[in-house]
Amino acid sequence: MIVTALAALQLSAATPLVVRDARRVVRVPTTAAAGGPMVRLESLQPMLPVAVSHDSAAWYTVEIWGTRMQLQTGVASVRVGDELRSLSGAPRLDHGHLVVPVQLISEVFPDAVPNVRWDDVTRQLVVFSVDAATRANLRTDAALSAPVRRPVRASTSTDATELPPPPRAPRGRRTIIVDAGHGGVDNGMSGPIGGGPRIYEKDITLAVAMKLGERLRARGVDVVYTRTTDTLIALDDRGHIANRAGGDLFISVHVNAASPTWQDPAGARGFETYFLSEAKTEDARRVEQMENAAARFEDSPNVGRDDPLGFILSDMQQNEHLRESNELATLVQQRLRSIEPGPSRGVKQAGFRVLVTAYMPAVLVEIGFGTNAREARYLSDPTSQDAIASAIAGAAMDYLSAYERRVSGSRAGFGSER
């Protein structure tokens, strides 16, 4: 967690509280108070299933997705499970509505409430994708459940059996976002080193992405492409497209380039799949810098500013999607291994901007090295592109069926499958 008491105090009183999910952004009005801005708790209801009940005298219980918090008007603390946490101000009543410090939402919610995180950079409460049907079910479940205290997710624990985020309800159809890397003025990498027919990453990624989409559609999956032509799409917009479409998975296709500082750059070969996290190795940092550099072609005002990516990332470690993304990445590598002539370079982690904005399991596949003459030839051959697309589509289908099994398994009892 990266939030601090200071951060909450820095919010200007007039600043509305911003709550965002995959589809909407809601600005909730706040009022100034000595201990920092206050907000009417029920105004979060369009985005979160907040239920406030008046227990007795000054005591109130707030329930969100099974998490219960007890508040007392006039007292600057909140009880979450067995833990008592201090608040920057005391909750109070305003025309019969409970008004609480914004700090409750920025600091306590991320530790206690499933499916939310506080983005300290943009000062927003981010609510992860839970579709309307699931929300409705969860609300009903919470209302019907006996008044027993459910376990509270501790901020330090990642034990999935404790209180897993609510699973999305299985649906008839799934949506996969297929993202062809680069495009337009951004060629991506070009190769190979030492000459031969010139290849541009943006052309290969588009060809493979289109084939991947066709194969997924043939298997009954809805596909949304971030681009279908040679055009530049800002890195952040790719994630926004994915969120608007309510995607279940995000797959970004790229071609790798060897570092000129390597001993034998022309000889580097192989495929690797990344999921979003902080770069763990020097090599992962190289690929991260290379792919994030595409932002220099964008002229959106947001892109110019330096995102403290590490900030967002350290917070996103809490994100349920990391585990899912890791699993998808593993399946992609397994499938590619069975068809690609080059070596598997494994599943890796790095902070790709294109993955940061997609609130769903997301991977970035480097399908080979365009700097290597043999792989450049392989990657530009339509037959190989077919095979690569089939392999990635197969991995996505494997992932989805494993996911469906897990979700239905989790209904019977959490943790029974893993």
Using CB under 5 A as the binding criterion, the count of chain residues that bind Zn ion stands at 4
Pairing between strand 249-256 and 362-369?
Answer: parallel
Cα angle value 330/354/367 (rounded, 5°): 45
Pick the closer one to Zn ion by CB: 65 or 274. 274
Least gap, CB of 181 to Zn ion (angstroms): 4
Least gap, CB of 188 to Zn ion (angstroms): 4
Q: Which residues from 281-340 bind Zn ion, rule CB under 5 A?
A: 291
Give the torsion sign (CA, 252, 258, 259, 262): positive
Least gap, CB of 395 to Zn ion (angstroms): 19
Residue 271 bridge partners (DSSP): 344
* The one among 36, 101, 165, 188 contacting Zn ion by CB under 5 A: 188
Pick the closer one to Zn ion by CB: 222 or 230. 230
Pick the closer one to Zn ion by CB: 50 or 287. 287
Pick the closer one to Zn ion by CB: 66 or 188. 188
Pick the closer one to Zn ion by CB: 115 or 205. 205
Q: Which residues from 239-258 bind Zn ion, rule CB under 5 A?
A: 254
- Residue 254: other Cβ atoms inside 10 A: 30
Least gap, CB of 380 to Zn ion (angstroms): 15
Gap between the Cα atoms of 105 and 20, Å rounded: 13
Check: CB of residue 105 under 8 Å from CB of residue 39: yes
Pick the closer one to Zn ion by CB: 125 or 199. 199
Establish if 361 lies at the interface with Zn ion (CB under 5 A): no
Establish if 181 lies at the interface with Zn ion (CB under 5 A): yes
Least gap, CB of 189 to Zn ion (angstroms): 6
Q: Give every strand in the sheet of 67-72, ordered side by side.
A: 50-56, 59-64, 67-72, 77-80, 83-86
Residue 69 bridge partners (DSSP): 62, 80
Gap between the Cα atoms of 273 and 326, Å rounded: 9
CA-nearest of 256, 188, 229, 213 to 389 is 213
User: Nearest residue by C-beta to Zn ion?
Assistant: 254
Least gap, CB of 247 to Zn ion (angstroms): 20
Q: Which residues bind Zn ion (CB under 5 A)?
A: 181, 188, 254, 291
